Amino acid sequence: MNINSRPQLFGLLAGIFLAAGLVFSSFVVTRAWMLIAQSQTIQVTGSARKNIRADLIIWTSTFSAESPTLLEAQRALKADLGKVTAFLQGKGVKDSQVSPIAIEEIRAGEKDTKQPKQVVSYRLTQTVTIHSQEVDRIAQVINDSTALVEQGVLFVSHAPDYIYTKAGEAKVEMLAEATKDARTRAEQICQQGGRTIDRLLSAKMGVFQITPLYSTETSGEGMNDTRSLDKTVTAIVTARFVMK
């Protein structure tokens, strides 16, 4: 074989492989339609998505006071509680839960001694928890809570939880929407095989996902995001239809 004939050989082989690939693809597609035509049922997966906004906010914060004596720490904490209460009431927050006082002894001493370490101060802490359906207003209160730090309060604001309380109702609604989507998909497939959908035989709901808006994160066990105000609810349904 001379050098000039090699390109012709490569072109011939490429043509053969391309033709074989097209034949195989046609066979696979034809086989799929034949199976649809012969089968009595078809199973497809449908989905439904809905953007929602949390309708409940849970905000937890803590404040603490530390002094050499327990009595001084209690007095300081009581004064700070008054500042926190006044701040919340000034923002129109009426319903808040204040936890009992947690007492921590701060000890210091020689590292290599067996003697008990001396108590050098007492740190007292209380937790304030707020549940509210006024989500936007409480979110603004959280932003304004730095004013307590400016008043000398050792105040720590924790990230709030944003809850969607109507998840149960959404499941029912979106199950129906996902089933409709599954039927549409099934009808499109059946048309290619010369069949039509008769009725729904069964429907099984997959995991229910509540994720941050625009997030692509999913979980095989389902998700229930509580860190974002705006969310996306996704429902997946596996449905089986009888064909005619």
Q: Could you tell me if residue 11 is inside a domain? A: no
pLDDT for 123-170, tens place per residue?
Answer: 999 999 999 999 999 999 999 999 999 999 999 999 999 999 999 899
Residue 118's pLDDT is what? 85
Q: What is the mean pLDDT of the chain?
A: 87
Q: What is the mean pLDDT of residues 73-91?
A: 97
* Same-domain status, 67 and 147: yes
pLDDT of residue 20: 54
pLDDT at site 27: 47
Same domain for 153 and 143, yes or no, is yes
Please indicate, yes or no, if residue 22 is contained in any of the structural domains: no
Lowest mean pLDDT among 33-37, 142-146, 202-206: 33-37
| 44 CB neighbour count, 10 Å cutoff | 19
Q: Quick check: is 203 in a domain?
A: yes
Residue 199 burial (CB < 10 Å; 0-12/13-18/19+)? Answer: exposed
- 27/180: higher pLDDT: 180
CA–CA gap between residue 145 and residue 130 (Å, rounded): 13
Whether the pLDDT of residue 213 is over 80: the answer is yes
CATH number of 213's domain: 3.30.110.170
Give the residue from 147, 163, 179 where a domain finishes. Answer: 163
pLDDT tens digits, residue range 9-34?
555 555 565 555 555 554 444 555 55
Q: What CATH number did the domain enclosing 145 receive?
A: 3.30.70.2970
Confidence band (pLDDT; 50, 70, 90) for 180? very high
Question: Considering 163, 181, 197, which residue would you say is the last residue of a domain?
Answer: 163
**Contact present, 119 and 105 (Cβ < 8 Å):** yes
pLDDT band at 44 (very low <50, low <70, confident <90, very high): very high
At residue 112 the predicted structure's pLDDT band, cuts being 50, 70 and 90, is: low
Return the SS3 of 73. helix
Domain membership of residue 96 (yes or no) is yes
- pLDDT grade for 94, boundaries at 50, 70 and 90: confident
- The answer to whether 232 touches 215, Cβ cutoff 8 Å, is yes
Q: Where does the pLDDT of residue 113 fall: very low under 50, low under 70, confident under 90, or very high at 90 and above?
A: low
Q: Measure Cα distances from 127 to 15, 76, 93, 99, 158 in Å.
A: 76, 15, 16, 5, 10
Q: Tell me, what's the pLDDT at 28?
A: 47
**Do the Cβ atoms of 230 and 213 come closer than 8 Å?**
yes
Sequence-ordered list of residues with C-beta below 8 angstroms from that of 206, at least 6 positions apart, any chain? 45, 235, 236, 237, 238
Q: Does residue 107 register a pLDDT over 80?
A: yes
Q: Which residue range(s) make up the domain with 237?
A: 41-53+165-243
Least confident stretch, 31-35, 41-45, 70-74: 31-35
Report whether pLDDT(1) > 60: no
Question: Do the beta carbons of residue 157 and residue 142 sit within 8 Å?
Answer: yes
Helices (H), the chain: 6-38, 70-90, 135-144, 146-150, 167-192
Tokens in use for 79? Answer: 């004064």
Confidence of residue 111 (pLDDT cuts 50, 70, 90): low
Q: Are residues 227 and 144 in the same domain?
A: no
Give the whole-number percent of the chain exceeding pLDDT 70.
81
| Tally of CB atoms within 10 A around 219 | 10
